[in-house]
Amino acid sequence: MSDLPEVLDGEVVALLGEAVEARFGMALPQLARAVKAAPEANPSATQLVHWYGLLAQAQDALEKAEDALVAALETAVGEVLDDPVMELAQQVNAAVEVRDGRAATLRFLLEAPAEQTGTRPRPALRVTTTLPTAAPARPARIRGGLR
């Protein structure tokens, strides 16, 4: 799908950030300031900066969820995990899904040609000259047929 290699979880944000920087030839903070100053100037840059920000937020949420789970596992007694620990594990799973979805979106936007990532106008409504038609006739009922 991409020439971006598979990476460890924590590295995905840094790797995609480097790809955004390479595409525009400037550091992310500088690119973010440029997008904030003129968001319509480059729709591709605006979308990439937006999705990079969402990815970074998702990674932070994932790290916090992982830290909470590790802390709960360190205090867990026995091999059977109680409901609060299982809830934390579910939160980690959900955070991974969100992070991976945002990374996939950012990767897609990086692979798409620049002119396709911007907002596109909707196609014009189709005007047709379809003539009205009559409803099909009901088939005739045959009485006294086989039973």
Structural domains of the chain, count = 1
pLDDT of 3 over the 50 cut? no
Assess contact for 51 and 102: CB atoms under 8 A: yes
pLDDT of 4 over the 50 cut? no
Q: How far apart are CA 58 and CA 43, in angstroms?
A: 23
Range of the domain at 53: 11-114
Q: What is the DSSP string of 90-103?
A: HHHHHHHHHHHHHH
pLDDT of 35 over the 60 cut? yes
Domain membership flag for residue 3: no
Residue 54, Cβ density class (10 Å: 0-12 exposed, 13-18 middle, ≥19 buried): middle
Domain membership flag for residue 93: yes
pLDDT of 59 over the 90 cut? yes
Domain membership flag for residue 106: yes
pLDDT of 115 over the 80 cut? no
pLDDT of 1 over the 50 cut? no
Domain membership flag for residue 147: no
Domain membership flag for residue 81: yes
Domain membership flag for residue 46: yes
User: Would you state the pLDDT for residue 129?
Assistant: 61
| Claim: this prediction has a pTM higher than 0.85 | no
Domain membership flag for residue 79: yes
Domain membership flag for residue 87: yes
